[in-house]
Amino acid sequence: MWGWRWASFAHVSLLASLVIGQQDQGNSSDASTYPEAKDVAFVVYYSSPPSIRASEHVPGWSEWDRDIEKVQTMIRLNFESARITHPQCRLVVLTDNSTEISLDKIKQDGRAEGPEVEVIRIDGLDNEEEMISRLKARIKFLEDEKGNHHIVFLDTDMLVVKNMNTVFEDDFDIAATWRHNPTMPVNGGILFVRKDHTDRAHDFFRSMLKMTEQAILQHEKRRWFGQSDQVALSKIMNRKYGYRGPMPGSDAARKELNQTSPVRTTFYPSPGDWSAAPAESAHKYGFNVLLLSCALYNGAGAHKGSQTAKECNEQACCCSDQSAVLHFKGRLKTAMHYYWTIACANPFFFQCAVLPERCEIERNEKARREREKSERRKNKGFVGKIVDSLMGSSYMAQKKLQLRESLRDLSQTVKGVAATKAAKEASMKEQLDKKVAATLSAVPRQITLPPGYKVAGHAVKPHKKVIMHNL
């Protein structure tokens, strides 16, 4: 059981009704077979975050990342999707030496074949410096990587629903995703590294580390929350750092930039006038950066018609049926499991792409259960069917009895709470009466009491003036 507060009971009921009401899709076309992608490594980073209260720079949903059970489940779904779309890939979790990560919680569920998960612990990381530590962990991983794998650095709250081998057919030092956000045009949720450019990527991440540390010193962003490294990544689409295209979010950019096409730029880690820089200086001083469509490779996993869908559509960063990677970031984290659970049966609920291979697995699993059930009935014959029917009736009766007992226990609990509250109120009133009587008995005075009021257990007539003495 998940035990998570994924949504309100009304939302759960809606999803349940959608799943139950959806008819079998029938024999759809077989899922496409992806080539074995043994040379792709999917790498996530996680460390137990510090106890930081929600504030201007630390949103309330950050509490989610403090629950290791939820994070490990997200990693499991993330890696299961990667296994399906990239058979025999490498799966890696980077972390510090103190974070407790259970391989049993993130291992495959047995239906998607693929590699086991590697947990690599990096020395010298500090969970108080989340973004700094993540950059340091990636730098160390690239130092130890021998160029055997293309690398995809991605957040834990992502699902890989399409094969991405074609990304690595292009030439680049680093690939990221762009969106129409003037402040943060480059999202750090996913970054790509070619296996023959790991040295260049290593230098790129060292530049990002230096710029992120500078941003922190300037108090641009809190150290733990994920936007601190995006302050550095945003420089990729800044003219002072070599970018020559229209600024994302501007009218010119919306006209000139195709939101489904990549944008190529040279990124220079030092600000300056690079507009007239010769071509040979790009490799010497800068990095060859490929900016992929956010909608295709970093699409926000929003519900159709939601406020989040409106926001990400404005930034050209919503998921679609063409998306290869879905990102359930921020407050969307709660929707990640729902998508994984219902997308095959109810693809209309999300606007995201459906992972056809997983749907095929689900259909095969359902068909297998139906065959086994049919075989059992067939072997049991007429008497067996009657027994099954009686057992089913008995099961439902048992469930009704359990529900009735639960309701009775709940009713008793409510009555007990009410009785306790009434007894407490009566006790407080009694103590108050005693205090009033004791105070008035010390000093004789003439007062007018309200109707029905009792003093020391004696009724007093309405509005009667009495002398209160030694009551």
Q: Could you give the 3-state DSSP secondary structure of residue 328?
A: coil
Q: In a structure prediction context, what are the per-residue pLDDT tens digits for the chain, which is 471 residues long? A: 344 433 333 333 333 333 333 333 333 333 344 444 458 999 999 988 766 554 444 444 456 667 888 888 899 999 999 998 998 899 999 999 988 888 777 776 555 566 889 999 999 998 778 888 999 999 999 999 877 899 999 999 999 999 999 999 999 999 999 999 998 999 889 999 999 999 999 999 999 999 888 877 776 455 445 556 788 899 999 999 999 999 999 999 988 888 778 899 999 998 877 766 666 666 678 999 999 999 999 998 877 777 777 788 888 888 888 899 999 887 788 888 888 877 777 776 677 777 777 777 777 777 787 787 777 766 665 555 665 665 555 656 666 677 777 777 777 777 777 888 888 888 888 888 887 777 766 655 555 555 655 555 555 555 444 454 444
Question: Domain limits of the chain?
Answer: 35-51+59-269+284-352
Q: How far apart are CA 85 and CA 162, in angstroms?
A: 6
Within 8 A by CB and 6+ apart from 172, the residues are 192, 194, 197, 264, 288, 289, 290
Side-chain-side CA neighbours of 461 within 13 Å: the count stands at 3
From CA 177, how far away is CA 184, in angstroms rounded? 11
- Residue 313 burial (10 A CB sphere; 0-12, 13-18, 19+): middle
pTM of the complete model:
0.69
Taking the C-alpha atoms of residue 200 and residue 35, their distance in angstroms, rounded to an integer, is 27
CATH of region 35-51+59-269+284-352: 3.90.550.10
